Structure 1
Amino acid sequence: MTALPDWTRPPRAEGWFAEDLDRLPEAPRHTELIDGALVFVMSPQRSWNGRVVTALTTTLMTQAPEGFEVEREMTIRLDDRNRPEPGLLLTTLPYDPDRTFYPPDAVRLVVEVVSPESAHRDRTVKLRKYAEAGIPHYWCIEDESGSPVVHVYELDEPTRAYAPAGIFRGSLRRPVPFEIHLDLDKLTPPRSG
């Protein structure tokens, strides 16, 4: 077994903090901070996940009204010890080329595209953390025999928990956070063979 590089050791006994991510140029590109621990996405990304994120990003960009920005693979600073990186988010902050994260109060929708290595975090940990941070909408996209299935959640303000708002196959129509119409079958090409 090889020794871990020095940069992987937390800078203090309490572990990592959100601002530490901006000081780790050696870290893999998709490094998240969950409960003060660095989470490295080391497994190769499946083509299916990348296609879904790309197609959804471009589709939402064409539908987003003035005042909304679509970002992919940017972290959200939920608190001092949590900075997850969703596949995609909708924000009300204007574009800033030097931005490295978004505050949760400026995020209106978070989309996670589930992969085998992220399934537990996306379905449970992030679901709870995004809700506790007050993000109004959360979509969790699953691969169902090659077709995207979107599990949609809306924030219940009094409990700061998400309530299921539907499971969508084939097409998705939502009135929030703005009027969204998606042909889910067009997010990925059909499987060959």
Structure 2
Amino acid sequence: MPPVEGYTADDLDRIPDLPSHAELIDGSLVLVTPQKAFHSLMLDLLTQELRSVAPRPAYLVRRDMSVVLNNRQRPEPDVVVVRAEAEADLTATWYPAEAVVLAIEVVSPESEIRDRSRKPQLYAEAGIPFFWRVEASEGKPVVYAYQRDPATGAYGPLGIFHERLVLTVPFAIDIDLTAIDRM
């Protein structure tokens, strides 16, 4: 039975037999359904490409790690770029929000509302500078890239990318999105 006041970020590491990729959103547990091939391939592509361009040793690219935004918010972005100094404890299951430079969500049918609305809002409120939302349009990836405006605390669009993702922030990025067809 969940606590009346909801779960906390620390609870995720203490609940026995919790399925992998469980998230905490607004104090409630969110269990993720199995992902489709597009989702998996997109994660592989983005992880591989970001690792090849992320300046080392300053940044690391990680999957399957949650981010503690506050005591009642611990989502698990699909991919994160973090500051390397955050990797001090190899037994950790999460990163603090201030270590995250970029959070990426690949939208699935069951996560549409969370990935399009709630998670970007939470990431922006926590001060994460960049957010990408990835969706499939007729089986092809579309990346919506955002940067946090420090004056408003909200994300503003950097662009919508279909075949090639080219950005100069948070570092130089050039990803051929059509490479998903060759994976």
TM-score by length of structure 2 reads: 0.94
Identity among equivalent pairs (%): 46
Aligned to 1:64: 54
Aligned to 2:136: 143
Q: Tell me, what secondary structure is at the counterpart of 1:24? A: coil
- 1:84-103 paired onto structure 2 within 5 Å: 84-94=75-85, 95=87, 96-103=89-96
- 1:1-193 paired onto structure 2 within 5 Å: 9-10=1-2, 12-41=3-32, 43-66=33-56, 67-94=58-85, 95=87, 96-189=89-182
Report the Cα offset of residue 188 of structure 1.
4.0
Q: Tell me, what secondary structure is at the counterpart of 2:7? A: coil
Structure 1 unpaired stretches of 5+: 1-8
Which is helix-richer, 1 or 2? 2
Query: Which whole-Å CA distance do the structure 2 matches of 1:45 and 1:186 have between them?
Result: 20
Query: Which whole-Å CA distance do the structure 2 matches of 1:159 and 1:177 have between them?
Result: 19
Q: Tell me, what secondary structure is at the counterpart of 1:117? A: helix
Structure 2 unpaired stretches of 5+: none
Report the Cα offset of residue 13 of structure 1.
2.3
Q: Tell me, what secondary structure is at the counterpart of 1:25? A: coil
Larger radius of gyration: 1
Deviation string, structure 1 residues 7-52 (Cα, Å, up to 9, x no partner): xx22x321100000011231110100000000011x3210110110
Query: Which whole-Å CA distance do the structure 1 matches of 2:181 and 2:10 have between them?
Result: 36
Cα RMSD between the aligned structures?
1.2
Query: Which whole-Å CA distance do the structure 1 matches of 2:24 and 2:177 have between them?
Result: 30
Query: Which whole-Å CA distance do the structure 1 matches of 2:154 and 2:52 have between them?
Result: 30
Alignment CA distance shift 1:62-1:25 (3 Å): farther
Q: Tell me, what secondary structure is at the counterpart of 2:110? A: coil
